[in-house]
Amino acid sequence: MAILRDDQRMPRAYSDDLRRKLLEAYEAGAGSLRELATRFRVSWGYSKKIRGQQLRTGQKTRPVQSQHGPVSRVTVPVQQQLRAAVRQQPDLTLGELQQRVQQATGVRLSKSLAWWWLQQLGLGRKKNPSTPRSRRAGKISGAGKAGGNR
């Protein structure tokens, strides 16, 4: 593990105490957001941001951060449909599974998302291609080097 110098430390969120003090000073008329940002040694953009959040939420503390990214389309009913489709016909291809889920739930899944959810639900499997295996599989020859005949 690398040791970081003081100037290399990861940035941290400002404390709720600092946030509350800046907002209370602004409400008391102690100065503009720009002046208070300078006094509290934060950026003017940060002071505008927290004031906007206070106006929206009515709170002086940092809002609780919700889940990152959009809400998943793979809801509990979609998961149940995935399980039911695999239970009914275990040798479905991913394309067939996509079609069944879309017909039953109206949710379109990409092949990679369908595969990922199969693994998450403990239903992962590997379908081998229907072609016969090569008899030479696993043999590595060093004779075919670049540069032609020797």
What pLDDT digit, counting tens, does each position of 17-40 carry?
999 999 999 999 999 999 999 999
If DSSP codes are grouped into helix, strand and coil, which group holds residue 25? helix
The proportion of the chain whose per-residue pLDDT surpasses 90, expressed as a percent, equals 43
Domain count, the chain: 2
Render pLDDT for 61-100 as a digit per residue (tens, 0 to 9): 988 777 677 888 889 999 999 899 988 888 888 889 999 9
pLDDT for 21: 96
Place of tokens 């998961």: 79
Alpha-helix residue ranges (DSSP H) falling in the chain: 16-27, 33-40, 44-57, 76-88, 94-105, 111-120
49 and 21 within one domain: yes
In this structure, is residue 116 part of a structural domain?
A: yes
In this structure, is residue 62 part of a structural domain?
A: no
In this structure, is residue 137 part of a structural domain?
A: no
pLDDT for 89: 87
- Domain residue limits at 85: 76-120
Does the model's pTM come out above 0.85? Answer: no
In this structure, is residue 66 part of a structural domain?
A: no
53 and 21 within one domain: yes
Render pLDDT for 107-126 as a digit per residue (tens, 0 to 9): 999 999 988 988 888 886 65
In this structure, is residue 146 part of a structural domain?
A: no
Please say whether the beta carbons of 46 and 37 come within 8 A: yes
88 and 53 within one domain: no
